A and B are shown apart, each in its own frame.
Chain A
Amino acid sequence: MAPKLPDLDQWLDAVAPVVKLDVAAEQRAGVRDQLKTAAKLAALLEKVPLKDETAAAAVYRA
Chain B
Amino acid sequence: MKSTDGAAAIVNAVATAQTSARSVMVETLARIEVNTGRTGAFTDVLKERAPATADGVDADLKAGKKLPLAGVPFAVANAFDLKGIATRAGSKIGREGLAATADAALVTRLEAAGAICVGAANMDEFGLGHTGENPHDGAVHNPHELAAIAGGAPAGLAAAIAGGMVPVGLGLDSDGGLRIAASLSGVFAIKPTYGRLSRVGVFPVAPGLDGAGVMARSVEDLTLAYDAAQGVDVADPAMVKRPLEPVSGRLERGSAGLRIAIADGDFAGAGDVRQMMDEIGKRLEVMRRVTIPHAQAALAAAHLIVMAEAASLHAERLRTRPADFDPAVFDRLAAGSLLPAQWIERAQRFRRMFHEQMLALFSTIDVILAPATPMRAPRLGQKSARVGTIEVPVRQSLNSYTAAFSLSGLPVAAVPIAMEGQRLPLGVQAIAAPWREDFALRIARELERTGLAKAPVARGFAEE
Query: Which A positions have Cβ atoms within 8 angstroms of B?
Result: 11-12, 15-16, 19-24, 27, 30-31, 33-35, 37-38, 41-42, 44-48, 50-51, 54-62
B316-329 vs A: 1/0 string, CB under 8 Å? 00110010000110
Q: Are B335 and A45 in contact (CB under 8 A)?
A: no
**Is A62 a contact of B409 with CB atoms below 8 Å?**
yes
Kindly identify which residue among B303, B346, B409 contacts A60, using a CB–CB cutoff of 8 Å.
Answer: B409
Indicate whether A21 sits within 8 Å of B337 (C-beta atoms), given known contacts A27-B330, A38-B343.
Answer: yes
For A15, list chain B residues within 8 Å (CB). 338
Decide: A56 and B337 in contact? CB cutoff 8 A. Answer: no
- B296 at the A/B interface (Cβ < 8 Å)? yes
B94 within 8 A of A: no
Q: CA of A38 to CA of B396 in the docked complex: distance in angstroms?
A: 12
> What is the predominant secondary structure among interface residues of chain A facing chain B?
loop
Residues of chain A with a CB closer than 8 A to B355's CB? 57, 60
| A60 touching B300 in the complex, CB below 8 Å, given contacts A15-B338, A35-B338 | no
Contacting A at CB under 8 A, from B300-341, are 300-301, 303-304, 307, 315, 318-319, 322, 327-328, 330-332, 334-340
Nearest CB in chain B: distance from A49 CB, A = 9
Min Cβ gap B303→A in Å is 6
Q: How far is the CA of A55 from the CA of B352 in the complex (A)?
A: 7
| Minimal Cβ-Cβ distance residue in A for B299 | A41
Establish whether residues B435 and A42, one from each chain, have CB atoms under 8 Å apart when the complex forms. Answer: no
- The answer, among A35, A47, A48, for a CB contact under 8 Å with B335, is A35
In the bound complex, how far is the Cα of B336 from the Cα of A30, in angstroms?
12
Q: A27 CA to B335 CA in the complex, in Å?
A: 11
A33 to B338, CA, bound (A): 13
Is B346 in contact with A45, judged by CB distance below 8 angstroms? yes
Q: B353, A23: Cβ atoms under 8 Å?
A: no
- The answer to whether A54 touches B349 (Cβ under 8 A) is yes
Residue of A nearest to B328 (CB): A30
Q: Tell me the total A-B contact number using a CB cutoff of 8 A.
A: 122
Tell me if B392 counts as interface (CB < 8 A to partner A): no
Give the chain A neighbours of B338 by CB distance below 8 A. 11-12, 15-16, 19, 21, 31, 35
Contact of B352 among A11, A19, A21, A54 (CB under 8 A): A54
Centre residue among B297, B318, B334, B350 by max chain A CB count within 10 A: B334
Are B297 and A21 in contact (CB-based, < 8 A)? Answer: no
A39 to chain B, nearest CB (A): 9
Task: List the 7 closest pairs (A to B, CB-CB), nearest first.
Answer: A34-B335, A30-B331, A62-B434, A56-B348, A41-B300, A57-B352, A42-B343
A48/B294 in contact, CB under 8 A: yes
CB atoms of A27 and B331 under 8 A apart: yes
- The B interface is mostly helix, strand or loop, or mixed, namely helix
CB of B42 closer than 8 Å to a CB of A: no
> Which residues of chain A have C-beta atoms less than 8 A from B335's C-beta?
31, 34-35, 37-38
- Write out, one digit per residue, whether chain B residues 441-455 have a CB within 8 A of any chain A CB (1) or not (0): 000000000000000
Query: B435 to chain A: which residues have CB within 8 Å?
Result: 62
Residues of B within 8 A of A19 (CB): 315, 337-338
Within 8 Å by CB of A45, from B301, B336, B337, B409, lies: B301
Known A22-B322, A62-B240: A46·B346 in contact at CB below 8 Å: yes
Question: Once the chains bind, are A21 and B334 in contact (CB under 8 Å)?
Answer: yes
The answer to whether B349 and A62 have CB atoms under 8 Å apart is no
Contacts of B343 in A (CB 8 A): 38, 42, 45
Q: Does residue B164 face the partner (Cβ distance < 8 Å to A)?
A: no
Question: A18 to nearest B CB, angstroms?
Answer: 9
Given contacts A42-B346, A45-B300, A47-B297, contact A56 B434 (CB under 8 A): no
Ordered by A's residue number, 10 sampled pairs between the chains whose C-beta atoms are within 8 Å are: A19-B338, A31-B338, A37-B303, A41-B301, A42-B339, A42-B347, A45-B297, A45-B347, A48-B350, A59-B238
Is the beta-carbon distance between A34 and B334 smaller than 8 angstroms? Answer: yes
Within 8 A of A (CB), among B421-459: 434-435
B301 contact set on A, CB distance < 8 A = 41, 45
Q: Which residue of A lies closest to B293 (CB)?
A: A48
> 11 other contacts beyond A31-B335, A42-B343, A45-B350, with CB at 8 A cut-off?
A15-B338, A16-B337, A21-B334, A21-B338, A27-B331, A37-B396, A42-B340, A44-B300, A46-B346, A48-B353, A56-B351
